[in-house]
Amino acid sequence: MNTVVTSREEILKTSRELIRQQGWSAVSIRSVAAACGVSVGSIYNYFDSKAELVGAAVESVWREIFHRPEDATVFQDAQACITWIYGRMEYGCRQYPGFFTLHSLSFMREDKSEGKRRMQQTWQHILDGLCSVLKRDARVRPDAFNEQFTVEKFADVLFSLMLSALLRQDYDPGAVLEIVRRTLY
């Protein structure tokens, strides 16, 4: 058995594969070490605990699902961005069955605060991205937003609708796109 892991990313890649094949319960220091072909101590060189490993794996899955597209124009137009996000949600559900459901999110109870923090950090990144896209979209009416109805509040509504769609496993962005059209253009 090797005693040295090539990288933290290899450990996370292996963790993602375990999640993909067997679900979240498959991720532990021992199972990841075995799948990597290294000693348990090698995993501890990169992660202080199972909670830290799982938290990093959560972040790694979110990053894989919502990595930046090759086509930067996706972030110039709200409709293109929303369509892309829904496509990535569908990809995530195919690659990581159950990842987005309430059941799979329940693994982030109080003993999994690091995973929850990382997930919320990723959600904030997505929200910030939506805000940027809404501000850049040249088709948005100049009077679409005001002090009471801000870009941030609208992005929050859109994100809430997207989370709801994730839980329902509904990857058709049509209703959200219609809301964008009627509200902003």
168-184 residue pLDDT tens: 889 999 999 999 999 99
Contact present, 114 and 54 (Cβ < 8 Å): yes
Q: How far apart are the two ends of the chain, measured CA to CA in Å?
A: 61
DSSP H stretches of helix in the chain: 8-22, 29-36, 40-44, 50-65, 78-95, 102-105, 113-136, 151-168, 174-184
| Among the ranges given (15-19, 76-80, 115-119, 121-125), the one the predictor scored with the smallest mean pLDDT | 115-119
Taking the domain 8-47, which CATH number applies? 1.10.10.60
Query: Considering the entire predicted model, what is its pTM?
Result: 0.82
Q: Which of 63, 3, 2, 55 is closest to 24 using CA atoms?
A: 55
Q: Does the pLDDT of residue 32 top 90, yes or no?
A: yes
pLDDT, mean of residues 68-85: 88
| Spans of all domains in the chain | 8-47, 62-184
Residue 71, C-beta contacts closer than 8 angstroms, at least 6 positions apart: none
Q: Which tops the pLDDT comparison, 116 or 75? A: 75
**Residue 103 confidence (pLDDT):** 43
Name the region of 139 (left: φ>0; alpha: ψ -120 to 50; beta: rest).
alpha
pLDDT at res. 163: 87
Does 102 have pLDDT greater than 80? no
